[in-house]
């Protein structure tokens, strides 16, 4: 039996809107895969590669910035058909969207809307696109749970008949044939449960002398692997209790208005506070110290907000998985964004730098009870963030919830004078005792960040 997919009503409206434009579209499907059924909350078309307005801005503000110049060169025309699509264009979009999703939600597939002939001609291309999207997404994820569902959705609409075709593709085995899946719209939207937490991070990373990882991002990613597996073994309490994974997260009796589909139910979202506990493993065999030479030490310290959404029908295990995913995805998202924005490779030997990655904010995904997030650098303006969210998710958002406080927000932010000082939560605060040169450094870097965001459409090319 194929997968059964339930999409919110708003998704239907979105598809209908795009279908009317008489153009072809490609984009990502956002939702949740579960062993029972899949939920789709949103579709976001991949933005067009060119918009004049943005190119102008690039030219004006960042003429001297080499990176942006390159970007300008790489701006290309929107291809005439799906078949001519650059796979990277879509996979980069998918990666950026993925960062914007709280735990529980992910890019569960791709959609394409095109005239029948173009669709037919692009079938192979679409399969390739699925492949490159999921290769890209797995590249930056820290760990993948063992029992992960490997089916992904490919939804197509033929603009002449307005007929929807839905199949699933097994990304663990691209050679296997796509399987037909059932796609249904549901009025009123699915019900969601929100999971909240904050996690204290204090992750020491050493980069071995002989490390093959060249870039800082790669070094961090390799270094975070241990932490990633530690998080996977963590004990997660839900609402203060240790619950059996197979239990339904919300007891049947607690669900209300089931099947009613009233508009009000969208706003309702049961929420749980979750606790995350990292177990210290024991080994029967005594261990000797492992001594190594390293070329760098990296330490990630601070508190990350954790948020996840799962279907009201989810099990406790689903909820826990979503929380763990959020922790790891958010850490990686911050590091990726940081490394994309700063040219950290230029750090001189023996230097010590403190970077503040962008901080997380949330906003409601319109017409749903779930939220999406974004990461914002210092000095980025609200309008710029909203603009980016609109660009990447194709939604208009009103309110942004700033869920975190940047260490650099404090105007006494400074670089610690002694090596090895920053490694505990309270010491982040200590960092802020003296003024120093880092402020200037950050200021300059943030300037670059602003420019990059102003670049709008071409933004997504940054990651090539």
Q: Would you give the binding string for another protein spanning residues 424-463, x where CB under 8 A is met?
A: xxx-xx-x--------------------------------
Q: Which two tokens stand for residue 64?
A: 């001297």
Helix (H) or strand (E) holding 15: helix 9-20
Binding residues for another protein, rule CB under 8 A, total 88
Q: Residue from 76, 172, 225, 242 that binds another protein (CB under 8 A)?
A: 242
Q: Residue from 67, 296, 400, 462 that binds another protein (CB under 8 A)?
A: 296
Residue numbers 120-179 binding another protein by CB under 8 A: none
Comparing CB distances to another protein, the nearer of 66 and 240 is 240
Q: Residue from 143, 423, 436, 463 that binds another protein (CB under 8 A)?
A: 423
From 52-60, 241-249, 382-390, 454-462, give the range in contact with another protein by CB under 8 A: 241-249
Q: Is 246 in the site for another protein (CB under 8 A)?
A: no
Q: Is 241 in the site for another protein (CB under 8 A)?
A: yes
Q: Return the number of other C-beta atoms located less than 10 Å from residue 438's C-beta.
A: 20
Comparing CB distances to another protein, the nearer of 104 and 109 is 104
Contact predicate 97/110, CB 8 Å: no
Comparing CB distances to another protein, the nearer of 22 and 293 is 293
Contact predicate 358/303, CB 8 Å: no
**Shortest Å, Cβ 228 to another protein:** 13
**Shortest Å, Cβ 273 to another protein:** 8
Q: What is the CA radius of gyration of the chain?
A: 23
Residue numbers 322-381 binding another protein by CB under 8 A: 331, 334-335, 338, 344, 347-357, 359-360
Q: Is 215 in the site for another protein (CB under 8 A)?
A: no
Q: Residue from 72, 159, 304, 368 that binds another protein (CB under 8 A)?
A: 304
User: Using CA atoms, how far apart are residues 325 and 310, in angstroms rounded to an integer?
Assistant: 12
Per-residue H/E/C for 27-63: EEEEEEECCCCEEEEEEEECCCCCCHHHHHHHHHHCC
Q: Is 69 in the site for another protein (CB under 8 A)?
A: no
DSSP string, 366-390: TTSS-EEEEEE-TT--HHHHHHHHH
Residue with the two structure tokens 């802020």: 432
Comparing CB distances to another protein, the nearer of 80 and 251 is 251
Q: Is 288 in the site for another protein (CB under 8 A)?
A: yes
Comparing CB distances to another protein, the nearer of 124 and 349 is 349
Q: 457: which residues sit within 8 A by CB, 6+ positions away? A: 47, 48, 49, 50, 51, 54, 75, 391
Helix (H) or strand (E) holding 10: helix 9-20
Contact predicate 315/249, CB 8 Å: yes
Q: Residue from 37, 78, 243, 439 that binds another protein (CB under 8 A)?
A: 243
Q: Is 248 in the site for another protein (CB under 8 A)?
A: no
Comparing CB distances to another protein, the nearer of 12 and 423 is 423
Contact predicate 304/224, CB 8 Å: no
Comparing CB distances to another protein, the nearer of 171 and 331 is 331
CA–CA distances in Å: residue 166 to residues 5, 109, 153: 9, 10, 7
Residue numbers 391-420 binding another protein by CB under 8 A: 404-410, 416, 419-420
Q: Is 180 in the site for another protein (CB under 8 A)?
A: no
User: Using CA atoms, how far apart are residues 214 and 463, in angstroms rounded to an integer?
Assistant: 16
**Shortest Å, Cβ 236 to another protein:** 9
Q: Is 15 in the site for another protein (CB under 8 A)?
A: no
User: Using CA atoms, how far apart are residues 219 and 216, in angstroms rounded to an integer?
Assistant: 5
Contact predicate 274/361, CB 8 Å: no
Comparing CB distances to another protein, the nearer of 91 and 414 is 414
């Amino acid at each position: 039996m194929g997968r059964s997919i339930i999409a919110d009503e708003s998704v239907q409206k979105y598809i209908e809107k795009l279908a009317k434009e008489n153009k072809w579209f490609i984009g990502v499907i956002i939702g949740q895969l579960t062993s029972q059924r899949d939920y789709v909350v949103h579709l976001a078309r991949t933005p067009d590669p060119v918009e004049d307005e943005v190119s102008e801005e690039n030219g004006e503000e960042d003429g001297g910035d080499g990176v942006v110049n390159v970007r300008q060169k790489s701006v290309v025309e929107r291809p005439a058909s799906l078949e001519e699509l650059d796979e990277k264009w879509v996979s980069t979009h998918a990666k950026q969207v993925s960062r914007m999703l709280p735990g529980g939600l992910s890019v569960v597939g791709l959609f394409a809307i095109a005239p029948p002939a173009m669709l037919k001609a692009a079938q192979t291309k679409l399969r390739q696109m699925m492949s490159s999207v999921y290769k890209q997404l797995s590249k930056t994820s820290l760990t993948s749970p063992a029992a992960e569902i490997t089916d992904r959705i490919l939804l197509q609409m033929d603009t002449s008949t307005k007929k929807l075709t839905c199949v699933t593709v097994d990304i663990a085995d691209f050679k296997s044939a796509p399987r037909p899946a059932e796609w249904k719209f549901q009025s009123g939207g699915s019900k969601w449960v929100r999971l909240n937490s904050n996690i204290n991070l204090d992750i020491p990373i050493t980069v071995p002398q002989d490390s093959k990882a060249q870039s800082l991002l790669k070094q961090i990613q390799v270094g975070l692997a241990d932490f990633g597996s530690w998080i996977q073994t963590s004990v997660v309490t839900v609402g203060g209790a240790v619950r059996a994974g197979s239990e339904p997260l919300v007891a049947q009796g607690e669900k209300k208005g089931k099947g009613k589909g009233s508009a009000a139910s969208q706003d309702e979202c049961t929420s749980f506070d979750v606790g995350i506990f990292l177990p210290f493993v024991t080994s029967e065999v005594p261990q000797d110290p492992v001594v190594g030479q390293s070329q760098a030490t990296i330490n990630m310290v601070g508190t990350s907000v954790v948020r996840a959404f799962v279907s009201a029908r989810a099990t406790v295990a689903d909820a826990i998985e979503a929380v763990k995913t959020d922790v790891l995805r958010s850490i990686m998202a911050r590091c990726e964004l940081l490394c994309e924005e700063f040219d950290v490779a230029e750090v001189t030997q023996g230097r010590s730098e403190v970077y503040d990655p962008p901080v997380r904010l949330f906003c409601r995904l319109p017409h749903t009870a779930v939220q999406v997030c974004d990461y914002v650098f210092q000095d980025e303006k609200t309008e710029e963030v909203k603009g980016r969210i609109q660009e990447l998710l194709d939604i208009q958002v009103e309110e942004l919830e700033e869920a975190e406080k940047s260490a650099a927000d404090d105007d006494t932010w400074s670089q610690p004078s002694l090596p090895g000082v920053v490694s505990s939560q309270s010491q982040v605060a200590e960092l802020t005792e003296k003024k120093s040169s880092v402020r200037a450094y950050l200021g300059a870097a943030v300037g670059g960040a602003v420019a990059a965001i102003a670049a709008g459409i071409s933004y997504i090319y940054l990651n090539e």
